[in-house]
Chain A
């Protein structure tokens, strides 16, 4: 077994400035284009984007925590959790007549599915992508069997609350903004958050320093599951429960995390950046709809932009600025700090 110990991450330090700006900058650019094309007041566009973006932000925050846990950590069960949680929460809400119970049920489903992945990751040392894939497959099977003959309708009160926009500002956006601040505080001010960042920067060093790596990893995946479950519960009330409710959220959640400035190799989380990237994605959808392009063009544009920004930013030798948006592979010059420990093979 080869265990790679990453080199010093000095370049991910403060000199990189504010990596979250770029998502907002891109969102603002798209908003300007929409403004020019439609010729109408831009306030309504922003208001609409703010009512759609929170769903992507919630699931994105969970994905961000997982990605921050270090290389190889990714949660690919979020889409299945969203679909399943949608059905379960609507069923629970209509059975008890309480929207709060429905939301809690959705969160509970997310935690349950994530618990399966966590047991596989920690107990069986299964790579996270496979463990969450397997748990997600089980969840989507349950979703399909639930979807047959499902008749319950989403809670009207919750739907009205999600559509509430006093002075054009969606209540949900405010609530999720508070949630984002809480996640940021969790990362900065709590032992768990500091441990998570430490584990993401260097798992071995964190282990040696006495950080309970297993407990931190478990908490992270459970949190991601809970947030995905919350997304599902809210989304099902906002739209309607369906088996492919969460399909688009898998790729989108990973994309917004990375565009938002979180390091894909872990060790640096940027909660605010998720908002910028989510607004960028939602506004981009709006722009394509406005111009009347098909979903084909929408996907081409989205993929093209992700690739363009990615390759433009790149790794290379420049530091700071756009280049800091994305994690680089160890560069040839810096790669000498990459140690490969092969000790495991010789003691067999």
Chain B
């Protein structure tokens, strides 16, 4: 019996680990199915481009959130941060590209410093990122008090890019998820990051410095936040510091939908991508169903609860 169980255990454990993302994937497929039955054009390349493009910034921001949740932290400032990046790209990046790039690099550095200080001073990330979110909002309002500005040409042409054969938004979603996967699941740094999330004491005893893990995770989150903001700016064609304020909690929901946990120690780049697309698709489904846009957030909330309820059921079955 023991011999029979031994090889079965890892498979079962892996199944239990990937089950949450699988439930979300089912929700995603159901939603695409609903879309295509309402509007068969959705399944063409143009249709998918249209449907997916709105979800790209949220998915990339969800990867940033996932990176921090992997080390056991949570980022309550990501929404305003993404908004700030759209503002920088709509103002500085147009008027003086060099300054703009330097400012964006500075923002990534600010994230790394934030992570360093959180670690050095041993303070809860929840509060530190909350404080930082006021700073991002203030900087954004300082640069651009009212929504507006333009988009750099290269960014606008990226937003309008229409390759033949495959939907363009799929490329950033997959490439970013792959990069985050390589960093968090396949590299030595990734092991250290997840180690920090699951058991910092063991990480220390292994002679590795936890501070490196945290700073790398925050820097990666900063880079992903900048990417998300640039993509959002390429779509909206301007800057608005509060355009992404809903991302703060939506990204957390996307990571949870994708199988991540608040305890840290797990990295779910593919799950976060699936969760982000699922949440982003809600607005598309609703507009196809002719539901008023007022109800959009309610349906998002209900879907989150329904998927998590589904996970409880699946978890009970697998137990």
Contacts and interface: CB of A to CB of B under 8 A. Distances in A.
Interface residues of A, number: 63
Contacts of A145: 292, 294-295
B250 to A, nearest CB: 8
Interface in A1-50: 2, 4
Contacts of B265: 2
Contact of B124 (A2, A264, A306): A264
A218 B241 CA distance: 36
Interface residues of B, number: 57
A134 B134 contact: no
B121 A307 contact: no
| A interface SS class | helix
Contact of A329 (B124, B252, B304): B124
Given A299-B137, A300-B135, A315-B123, A137 B298 contact: yes
Nearest to A345: B13
Given A299-B137, A328-B122, A124 B304 contact: no
B296 A125 contact: no
B256 A130 contact: yes
Contacts of A303: 131-138
B12 interface: yes
Given A133-B249, A340-B199, A331 B298 contact: no
Contacts of A335: 200-201
Contacts of A306: 127, 130-131, 134
A257 to B, nearest CB: 10
Nearest to B121: A314
A24 to B, nearest CB: 19
Contact of A2 (B198, B249, B253, B256): B198
B134 A120 contact: no
Given A72-B262, A141-B297, A141-B298, A299 B141 contact: yes
Given A124-B308, A124-B312, A299-B138, A258 B301 contact: no
A130 B304 contact: yes
Contacts, number: 174
Contacts of B101: none
A194 B133 CA distance: 34
Contacts of A310: 121, 123, 127-128, 131
A158 interface: no
A129 interface: yes
B308 A133 contact: no
B121 A315 contact: yes
B117 to A, nearest CB: 5
A258 B130 CA distance: 11
Interface stretch (A96-104, A173-181, A290-298): A290-298
Nearest to A2: B263
Interface of B: 9, 12-13, 16, 76, 117, 120-124, 126-128, 130-142, 145, 198-201, 204, 249, 252-253, 256, 262-263, 265, 292, 294-302, 304-305, 308-309, 312, 318-319
